[in-house]
Structure 1
Amino acid sequence: MSDKDDIPDSVVSLPGYSIYRCDRVNIIGGGVCIYIKNSKFIKFSIISQPCHIGDIDLLHLNFSSSHIQFSLVCLYRPHYIPEENDNLLFDKLFQMSHNNSNLIICGDFNYSDIDSKSRNFIQCLNNSNLEQLITEHTRFRLNQTPSTLDLLLTNSSQLLTEHEILPPIGNSDHALIGTSIRTIHKSNNTILKLKRVIIVINYSNLDQELASYHSELYFQKFIFDISSLESEETLDQNSTLLMLRQKNSLWKKFKRTRLQTDYICFRTYSNSMSRLIRQDKATYEQNIALNANKKQFYRYVRNFSITHVPVPVLKSSNGNLCDDLTEISETLSNIISSL
């Protein structure tokens, strides 16, 4: 991601979310951002601390509320950085871990083999009291060995729960990492207790049933399904939900079998679904643009322009800079009323 002068927040904003950015400076690519879902029920005070360590982009957010305090860090480490930048990163991880009791670090570390080729990084985790929670592969590319590039670190293992590897977004070859933050929410002096439902699956029998299907016929079946779906002009909501469930099913099958044919099935279906969704979105936007009711069009446009705009510094009528919000509002009111 480039800097904010080239790409404003309104271009990359998501409806219902606030965005925090750490942009790569003077170079194309790189950069990290964090989207925080706006909530009416839990209010956090958030302090943003973006920084750069050589070519490493790091965004540090401190969250505090009446229920919990924790720090969330998102970083991107290029694979080509020199050793001295790695040492600076290790010092930064050590410092953050010792200054924050509830620390969560996630991102693309680009260590292709974290078990054997990254001894200095593993030593850093031990010295910093950080635990690495991801044990499965997170990057999958055809004709390449899967690798664990995306990591999830914490110095409080009780803080996070329910880690899972989810299907990639769009055409990305990086899987999503899902996790939950464990909190205690108090309402009227009552502690809400969360109950987990555990479902026991006999994977041995399941694998035997899945193995009975012929991979090539299975692949041809989904090619046929994709062709029939692409013949539709638009998708309704139910069709989209069914396709998402089918995509997740294909991804889970590949995770179980690790077969190349199953991955090709997943990737082909995912690409076709993305094309259909883009076509459906274009058709929807064309319909609301031609609709006589312009309120629907303006409401749709506003959803993509919601962003936090800072209050500008103004000069009052006597030439002094306004530093008080009340004075700024009165100055703006006088300017508008004079037009």
Structure 2
Amino acid sequence: MAPVRTTKAVSYFTATVTAAPDSPYWGAMNSRSRTGTGKEALGGGEEETRAKPIGGIHVQSTGTPVGQKDNKDQNKGRTISKQQTTGKQITFENLTCFYTNADQLKNKLSELAIRVNEIKPEIIGITEVKPKTRSLNMKPQEFSIEGNTDYCMFDKNIDNNMGRGMILYVNKLLQPKEVRLETNFQENIFIEVPLNVHEKLLIGLIYRSDSGSEENNNSLRNLINEATSKNYSKMIIMGDFNYPDINWETWNSKGDSTESHEYKLIHCLQDNFLSQVIEHPTRWRGNDTPHILDLVITNNEHIISSVDYQSPLGKSDHNVLIVKIDCQKSTKTTSRTRKCYNKANYDKLNEEINAVNWRQELKEDHTIEENWELFRNKIHGLIDKYVPTKSIKLNKNNKHNFPVDQDTLKLIKLKHSLSKQVVTSSDPEIRRQYCKIRHKVKAITRNLRKNYEQSLASKAKTDPKLIWKYINSKSKTKVEIGDLYVNPKDTNSRKATTAKEKADILAKFFQSVFVKEDEGESPTLADKKYHQRNVGTENNKRAYN
């Protein structure tokens, strides 16, 4: 019997993993892989396309066939064709990047969630995520943004004792993929975003400790050299480099030494024809002189349309940088169907299953695979018949959970304004006002989270789904399947990038670990007689008691 089980298991897994797009398995395997190619990615067919702006984002829908009217959704300000059932084409005219050094993020998540909901950046980079002193390791799930599932999360050194940790959140619509560089630098994350057929954007996040070793400083320059050598058409590297002694107006370092780390970094950037666009101090504390520690490096300074210096998160001493990147990205919102098993008609389903004559359906002259396919198709046909489905929109905008009022938003804007004045003025009164507003914003945002969690707890019995959704958001993360080597034993082999290629590689691997039985007849089991016992009699009841 072992070969039968092995053959079925391999066949079922292969059918599941390498399923076609119209298969019921495709939604499970490819729920997070939505990269289209050719005309399918652009809406399909020869139909004319058009774009209409919605809040800065252009929504491009499929043209209407001749003789067919459109359904106009005036509330959303766009036109939707009746033929458009698989999603809408969205074009990002520019990308907004939110970066800061948080100096531990856990106690600032509430303010981060409010500001992200207000700005709606496509890219969020945070360095120094973990506190300086900690007794327990942290998990990436603890840093999910409240009420927002629009982002893929890439993290480094969160669940170990190395470094301060960093996180890069990237909008799922950008279809980001992590890029592994060979240079061994302690804290860095690189991801790529496909812009069009010929262009890709490389985004890097770096943290360099000011107490780092000579080897780590050399690795930083080697990392920049390697990233530049990849020849991406557009590249952005942001992070806390901790070089306060560099004058970025003149691109000079203090002193005449050509062996200083500052001098070597400047020449590394110049040798790679890179630009640094931060011009004003990004870090200040107490009476210390403000410095430029956080940098934004690019291979094309013309793609940086603006840089806004906002107030730090919480009590951090690093400004938040809002960087606008000029690069167009088109993608498509998708939807998929999900089975509602809790609403299935199990009585009818069981009735039809019991009515099937399996001896007649599964014939002896068929192979195991043929009988398995007949059985599987019959079961799935009944499931499709008696289990209803619902359509789930992916990549939809999430509404923030916190009921943020306009007064709170005004306080945050006032905090931004005062932080800019603190950097340029030595007036102690301005600094005192800033500290007062900073403490007030911190208290309000924490209370918002506290009140929200209390409201969930009060509804735990009447609506348990809400609290479990919140708990799961803090205990689970969805990780993308990265590119896989076609030959796992050869790191120089080509990488599989499409969903089908990855599925084939995984199916081949799992198939290889099954035990291969010797060819020949399967062993037969001796007949064994079973005695039926009537457990309903009084004697047997007493015997069992």
* Aligned residue number for residue 134 of structure 1: 278
Three-state SS of the structure 1 residue aligned to 2:242 is coil
- Report the residue type matching 1:176 in the other structure: V
Aligned to 1:60: 190
| 1:216-231 → structure 2 map (5 Å cutoff) | none
Distance 2:404 2:480 in 1: 39
Over 3 Å counting, the alpha-carbon distance change for 1:111 and 1:25 in structure 2 is: farther
Higher mean Cα deviation, 178-187 or 85-94? 178-187
Q: Deviations over 1:233-262 (max 9, x none)?
A: x98623322222222232243345353431
Q: Per-residue deviation at 1:323?
A: 3.7
In structure 2, relative to structure 1, the CA distance for the partners of 1:186 and 1:81 (3 Å cut) is closer
Q: Is 1:308 matched with 2:478?
A: yes
Are residue 89 (structure 1) and residue 223 (structure 2) matched?
Answer: no
Aligned to 1:324: 507
Alignment partner, residue 139 of structure 2:
8
Report the AA paired with residue 266 of structure 1.
Y
Structure 1 equivalent of residue 430 of structure 2: 262
> Once the 2 structures are TM-superposed, how far is the Cα of residue 18 of structure 1 from its aligned partner?
1.3
Is 1:287 aligned with 2:452?
A: no
The answer to whether residue 342 in structure 2 is matched with residue 173 in structure 1 is no
1:154 aligns with 2:288: no
User: Unpaired runs of 5+ in structure 1?
Assistant: 188-233, 312-321, 329-339
The 1-side partners of 2:212 and 2:141 are apart by 31
Question: Closer, same or farther in 2 for the Cα pair 1:246/1:290, shift >3 Å?
Answer: same
Contact 1:130 1:155 in 2 (8 A): yes
Alignment TM-score, normalising by the size of structure 2: 0.44
Instruction: Give the equivalent residue in structure 2 for 1:77.
Output: 208
Q: What is the rounded CA distance, in whole Å, between the counterparts of 1:48 and 1:142 in structure 2? A: 39
Displacement of 1:100:
2.6
Distance, in Å, in 2 between the alignment partners of 1:84 and 1:300 is 43
Given the superposition, is the C-alpha separation of residues 258 and 133 from structure 1 closer, same or farther in structure 2, using an over 3 Å criterion?
Answer: farther
Q: Structure 1 pair 258/51, CA: closer, same or farther in 2 (3 Å)? A: farther
* 8 A contact 2:308–2:321 mirrored in 1: yes
* CA drift at 1:34: 0.5
Change (3 A) 1:164 1:25: same
Q: Distance in 1 between matches of 2:436 and 2:230?
A: 46
C-alpha displacement of 1:174: 0.6
Q: Distance in 2 between matches of 1:284 and 1:103?
A: 39
Normalised by the length of structure 1, the TM-score is: 0.68
Map 1:186-225; keep pairs closer than 5 Å.
Answer: none
CA distance in 1 between partners of 2:289 and 2:143 (Å): 32
Letter in 2 for 1:301: I
| Deviation sequence 1:117-147 (CA, Å, 0-9, x none) | 4222111111111111111101010021111
Q: Structure 2 unaligned runs (5+)? A: 1-128, 131-135, 248-252, 255-261, 332-401, 482-504, 512-545
- Whether the 8 Å CA contact 1:71–1:100 is kept in 2: the answer is no
CA contact (8 A) 2:281 2:423 kept: no
**Which of 1 and 2 has greater Rg?**
2
In structure 2, C-alpha distance between the alignment counterparts of 1:160 and 1:236, rounded to whole Å: 31
Kindly tell me: are residues 262 and 307 of structure 1, through their superposed partners in 2, closer, same or farther at Cα, counting changes over 3 Å? same
Pick one of 100, 125, 137 that aligns with 2:231: 100
Bigger drift between 243-252 and 150-159 goes to: 243-252
For 1:186 and 1:31, the matched residues in 2 are separated by 32
**Structure with the greater relative contact order (CA < 8 A, sep ≥ 6): 1 or 2?**
2
Q: In 2, distance between residues paired with 1:309 and 1:8?
A: 13
Distance 2:291 2:437 in 1: 22
* 2:157 counterpart (23, 26, 34): 23
| TM-superposition CA deviations, 1:95-120 (whole Å, max 9, x none) | 22132332111101011111224222
Cα distance in structure 2, aligned partners of 1:85 and 1:184: 35
- Distance in 1, matches of 2:295 and 2:206, equals 10
Stretch deviating more after TM superposition (253-262 or 74-83): 253-262
Aligned equivalent of 1:277: 445
What amino acid is the match of 2:432?
I
Alpha-carbon separation, structure 1, partners of 2:213 and 2:329 = 45
Contact 1:22–1:50 (8 Å) recurs in 2: no
Q: Which amino acid aligns with 2:143?
A: V
**RMSD of the alignment, in Å?**
3.2
Number of matched residues? 267
